[in-house]
Each structure stands twice: as structure tokens, then as C-alpha cells.
Structure 1
Amino acid sequence: MRFVDEVTVEVKGGDGGNGAVAFRREKFVPFGGPSGGDGGDGGDVVFRADERLSTLLDLRYRRKLIAKNGESGRGKDQYGAAGEDLVVRVPIGTQVFDAETGSPVADLDANEKEFVIARGGKGGRGNIHFATPQDRAPRRAEPGEPGEQRKLRIELKLLADVGLLGYPNVGKSTLIASISRARPKIADYPFTTLVPNLGVAAIGERSFVVADIPGIIEGAAEGAGLGHRFLKHVERTRVLLHILTLDPDPDRKPLQDYDVLLSELERFDPELAKRPMIVAVSKLDLPDVKKRVSSIRRGMKARGVDKVLAFSAATGEGIDELLHELVRVLDEHPVAPTPRAAPLGRPGRTAAALDDEGDDVGGDVEYVE
């Protein structure tokens, strides 16, 4: 399935139905009075988080989301039916922004959480509401209000407890495959992983969600290697697991990799560099890596990191210790609060054509605001 994490759509609430202008025309009732009913309210556009979805692919092909209009009122005091709401299901972790101003609209960070993205217009009142002792046969009614309309930018940022951070080909996908049921593509070349993967790891009675973020490289904060699209998924993780290892490329050094990626985090978002982080050396089953673990730990201690774990996803060595350490740090750092969404405004009114649906109307109809 194709992974899509950002789309732009237009949304519109349903228009309210027009109020009706009609009069009673019954035998032996010469002055029956007004009988025009109210129009129905327009439907809302509602976004609802669904844990069964993992991508915004469906919205890529639905660029306009329009709720149903309310029905116009009719004669004999009949009110129009309200328009049906349009419920759009999106993945957990979906954020909605106003495309024009960039202001946040909604953050759907829990299953079944929903938010009214565009409100439907209110239905207009029929002429039964305008009868007075001075005007017993009013020929006035209200038009329905238009539904709210806006252009939105929708982003998906994965929600996970632990985010795996590291250069391409350091073993992130192999690790997530060994500690969960996730089955990412694994191969011995850079950029095997091109989309984020989620897996649930368990140790004892505890479990937590791990996100395999595609490899981030130098210049990612400026967009190198799709850096912006990858780095944004790190923002929603509670703890970062920074994985280092020896690389066949002689120009690559584990300590240098750490410095570069930490710098990229700071440039993308200074708060990310302050996120709780565990550093671990992967591929411990390789003789060269095992020889260099001590020197890597000394170099990391000089950078203020006193504890550096080591593991092999291939043999399982050090995996339990790593999982216990992740649980310990997660317990120390509860989930951070999510930003509140900006309030939605109400649409204004405009005049709309009134359809009397064949009721007995004489003369012109006046719209009132």
C-alpha cells in the first residue's frame, strides 16, 4: 500500500435549506394564513480518527469533501430535512491546518476522536414565523445559510512511544522486525526503508509502540533525502533510540554520525534535541563492531552520554537489556500534552434562490436577513 502523509483538500459544509413561503388553501378556510416551513440545517464535515488506517491515501483522490445540503421547507408547515453529515475517517496522528493561514485546526491523536472541520449552514425560517397582527399573510422567508468552506492542509505524524533514529543501513528495520511483528523491507544497502513502519514491542507485561523512521542524513533539516518528511514523524515520539554502528564507507564514523544527526535535529526543531534519548550500537555480532564498542562508549562519554547499550538483532544479544532500558525511560517521561486546535468560525449569510416547491404563492417573495 502506498504511504501518503500529506494532502491538501477543500471542505465545505452543506448549505442550509431555504424557508418556504406558502399559505393554507383548504375548503371552507378562506383566510388560512401562512404555512411555509423552515429549511433544514446543512450537514457538517467531520474528521474521525480510525486506528485501522495508516495513511492518507484515500484523501489523495478526494480533493473536495462536501456535506449534504439541508432540504428547503415546504407548505403545510413541513420543515425540510437536515443534510447528512460527511464523516471522513483518517489515521490516528492526523493534524489539520488552515491552508491559507497555517493555523492549526484539529489534532486527532486518539482512536475515534472526532472534530467538526466545516459546519453546515443553518436552515432559513419559513413565513410562518413572520405573521403579525399587521401582516397576517407575510410573503417573506429567510434563505438558508451557506456551509462553512475552507482549504485545508492535512498532515500525518506517526504517534509512537519510541522513534528509531539513525543513518541509513544501521539496522533500524532489522531491530523492529526482531522485537515486533512488523515486517519492513530489509536489505544490505542504504535507503531500504522509504516509509515509516510501526511495530509493537513487548517485554514482560509491558508493551510500547516503536516507529522505524527512514534513515536521516546530513542536510535533512533542509530537506536532503526527504528529510522534512522523515523528521516530522520524530516529533510525535516520546523517546528517541539513536542507533550507531560501523559503516563500510571509510568516510563514515559512528561518533561523527551521532554529531551530524543531533545537529540535524536541533536545526529542524530545537526541542527535538532535548527529547529523552537512548544511544545503542547495533550489529554486535560483527567482530569489527564488537572491537569498537569500548572506544565508541568513551567517545560518547566525552559528549555527555554516560550509558551506551549494544545489541545484535540477528542473534538477540543485548535485546532484553535494550527493551528494559526503553521501558524505564518511558516510565520516567509520560506522554506530552498535544496542542489545542484553533476554534472554527461561523459562516456568514448570503441570499439564495427560494424554491416554493409548487406551494400557492402570490406576488414577489422577500428575503429577510
Structure 2
Amino acid sequence: MASNNFIDYVKICCRSGRGGAGSRHMFRAKGKPLGGPDGGDGGRGGHIILKGNKQLWTLLHLQYKKHVIAGHGEGGGENLRTGAQGEDVILEVPLGTIARDAETGEIRAEITEDGQQIILTPGGRGGLGNDHFKSATNQAPTYAQPGEPGQEVWNVLELKLLADVGLVGFPNAGKSTLLSVVSAATPKIADYAFTTLVPNLGVVAYRDYKSFVMADIPGIIEGAAEGRGLGLRFLKHIERNATLLFMIAADSPDIAHEYQVLLSELEQFNPDLLEKRRVLAITKSDMLDEELEAEITATLPPDMPHVFISSITQKNIQKLKDLLWQQIQAARLDEPKPLRHSIWKEKRADGDEFEDLSEDQFD
């Protein structure tokens, strides 16, 4: 599901630390034969914590980290001393990472901000010392709580890239070429289909030192919802985008039909994608005259913002940026909706089969 450098799926066993036992100590000192209980509490076990890091864009650093084990809490001591807490383990992940329970598919954490921390697997609580159990009728309790055990859970970490604009189109529609022209990204470009095998991100410079992030994913083909091609399994990376830029080549025999096919594939993958703002770019249009452009425009949905561009000649590139910026700003003003995560079943590289049980459980 990834290249050598882009990893968007890992499966990790997270084992949190057990809590330390409470102390059953009785105070003893010269002249105080009935000092009473003074056992301290045990320290809690170490947590497994996810932390957002905006400098990361892949889960490559976790690819071979199959087991993560936090430290155990220490037992309480005399004189009401609390045991030391177990050492936490912090897993830094890119923004857009989702953690699921590998058995049930339940979403346990979602990282969307730099520095955000979420306890993925909590450590066991430390036991109470015998000082907590003294009473008028039991002034010398010999009981203290044991520490709670830690948890051992297999978690799936799945990355969904955060970008303002997501590129959608068939293979050879010119998506990678556009990204290379408007940003410093260097995606693979060649004169054959499926040159893009993994998602690519680029920062697009705009007017007055503004900028936005554009994400390119492998091309979609008709029947992607049934498992054909590469694009379907990477569509999750545009689920969070504010705007979708559909790209169709001007030499297509039926641009309107190709646009409807792309919409259909998105709907089958995740219906919420159709709620996003959309812009259509007709690429490779440097050879079109105004008459041909008018004929194509007449076949398109009347309310569909569109622009004829050519990445090679820079035709209407600035106009496209202006249109995208308007849509991004409008999308940010839209009332936010809860994200419904895409659901699909797939054989992973390690042979495990992962299948979510229901879309409804994530609403």
C-alpha cells in the first residue's frame, strides 16, 4: 500500500504499564508504638501516547516498530511516599493520523493538530496504600490495593493527509504536471498511465505571501470502487480536503461523461466527498480556441466552476489559483460536518485482513 518512502498504514501492539501496588507499611518510631498506617500509593503505569508532529508526513518511522511497551509503576513506600509513575511512550505521528482498534475497527484517537497528544493505551492505576483504609473501627489496616494491570491492544495507525486541495482525475490527466508547476514538489512525470503510485503534497504560493497545500493521488479508473486500479485505496487522503480539483484532459472524447464517472467513484467510496466544494480544470487546452472551449462549456453542469488550463504553457494557471483560493476560503466558512471515515476491506501487506464493521459506528 505504499512505496519505499510513503507508508500510510502500520499495525502496532501497544502494551501499557501496570500500576504499582500500594504499601501496607505501619509507622514505627521510638515513643510512638501506635503510629498507625502510613503506606503510600503505587504509581500509575506508563501510557502509550500519540502526539501530532507537523514535520512528519508518513508513518515510515513506525513501519518496523511492531511492539511498543510502556514502563510499570513502582510500589508505594513508607511515610505516605507515592511510587514513581511508569515511563510513558510517545509515538509522534503526522497530522491526519487515525488510530483504530485492530479487532473491532473502533476509532480510538485522531490527530489533527501539531503538538496534540492523546492517550492511546492508558496505563494501569496505582493501588491505594493502607493509609486510605483506616477508620474508627479499623485503625491498623493491613490491606493495600494491588496496582491495576496495563492493557495490551493491537492498534492500526492510518494516515489521511491534510491538504486544502485534492486532485482527482483519470491517469494521465496532468495532475502531477500541474503540481510540479504550481509548487516545489517533484512528482514522477512520464508519458504513460499510473506514473503516480503514492500521494504527493505540494505547497502552492499565492498572492500576498499566502499559500495553500495541494495533494495529488494516483489516478482513478472506472470500476475503482470494485477494486480496479490504484486510486481507490488512496482516496482517503482527500477526505479532509476543503476543495476537490477535478482534472480532465481536453482531448477526452466526452469530458462531461468522465466527470460523472469520477463523481460516481467518489460517491461509492464515501458519499461525504460529494458535499465538498469542487472545481473542474480542463487540462492540455493550449490548442483549444474560444469556439472549442465554448462547445465544451455547453456540455458541463451550469453551476460547475471550471477553467481551461495548460501546465506546459502556463495558460490560466493564475486564474486557477484564484478560483481555488476562493473555494478554499468559502469552504472554511461552511458549517463543519463530522467526518465520516471511509470503509473498505483489503488484504494488507502483512497478510492480515482488515474490515470495519459498520459506517454507523463512526458517526
The offset of 1:236, in angstroms, is: 1.0
Structure 1 segment 234-273 matched on structure 2, within 5 A? 234-246=238-250, 253-273=254-274
- 1: CA distance between counterparts of 2:240 and 2:227? 19
Runs of 5+ unmatched residues, structure 2:
341-363
Change (3 A) 1:133 1:268: closer
Deviation digits for residues 335-354 of structure 1, max 9, x if unmatched? Answer: 6636489xxxxxxxxxxxxx
In 2 relative to 1, CA 7–337 (structure 1 residues): closer, same or farther, beyond 3 Å?
farther
Measure the CA separation in 2 of the matches of 1:197 and 1:212.
5
Does 2:308 align with 1:298?
A: no
Per-residue deviation, 1:38: 1.8
SS state at 1:255 partner: helix
Partner of residue 237, structure 2: 233
How far does residue 304 in structure 1 lie from its aligned partner after superposition? Answer: 3.6
Q: SS of 1:333's equivalent?
A: helix
Which of residues 78, 86, 91 is equivalent to 1:83?
86
Aligned length: 335
1:171 matches 2:170: no
Q: Which runs of 5+ in 1 are unaligned?
A: 342-369
Report if the CA contact (8 A) 1:13-1:43 is conserved.
yes
Match of 1:240, SS state, is strand
- Give matches, 1:272-283, under 5 Å: 272-283=273-284
Classify 1:34/1:306 alpha carbon distance in 2 versus 1 (closer, same or farther; 3 Å): closer
* Offset at residue 299 of structure 1 (A): 2.0
Matching residue of 1:356: none
1:231 is paired with a residue whose SS is helix
SS of the residue 1:296 aligns to: helix
Q: Secondary structure at the match of 1:225?
A: coil
- Tell me whether 1:13 sits opposite 2:12 in the alignment: no
Larger Rg, first or second structure (1 or 2): 1
- Aligned-partner residue type, residue 190 of structure 1: A
* Deviation of the 1:257 alpha carbon: 2.2
1:30-88: CA deviations, max 9, x gaps? 55544433211112221111011111122222223232111112345432101122111
Q: Which residue of 2 aligns with 1:217?
A: 221
Query: Identity rate of aligned residues, in percent?
Result: 45
**Aligned counterpart for 1:138 among listed residues 138, 141, 157:** 141
CA distance in 1: counterparts of 2:136 and 2:271, whole angstroms: 70
The equivalent position to 2:324 in structure 1, one of 312, 318, 326, is 326
Q: Which residue of 1 aligns with 2:6?
A: 3
Q: SS of the counterpart of 2:322?
A: helix
Change (3 A) 1:140 1:72: same
Structure 2 match to 1:308: 306
Whether the aligned pair in 1 keeps the contact of 2:278 and 2:304 (CA below 8 Å) is no
CA distance in structure 2 between the aligned counterparts of 1:338 and 1:156, rounded to whole angstroms: 20
Q: What's the C-alpha RMSD, in Å, of the aligned pairs?
A: 2.6
Deviation digits for residues 162-212 of structure 1 (CA, Å, limit 9, x no counterpart): 111111111111111111111111111111111111111122123111111
- Aligned partners of 2:69 and 2:336: how far apart in 1? 32
Q: Report the CA distance shift for 1:306/1:27 in structure 2 as closer, same or farther (over 3 A).
A: closer
Aligned twin of 2:188: 185
Alignment of 1:139-158 (within 5 A): 139-158=142-161
Q: Is the 8 A contact 1:216 1:230 kept in 2?
A: no
Greater alpha carbon shift after TM alignment, 120-129 vs 43-52: 120-129
Distance 1:307 1:58, change over 3 A: closer
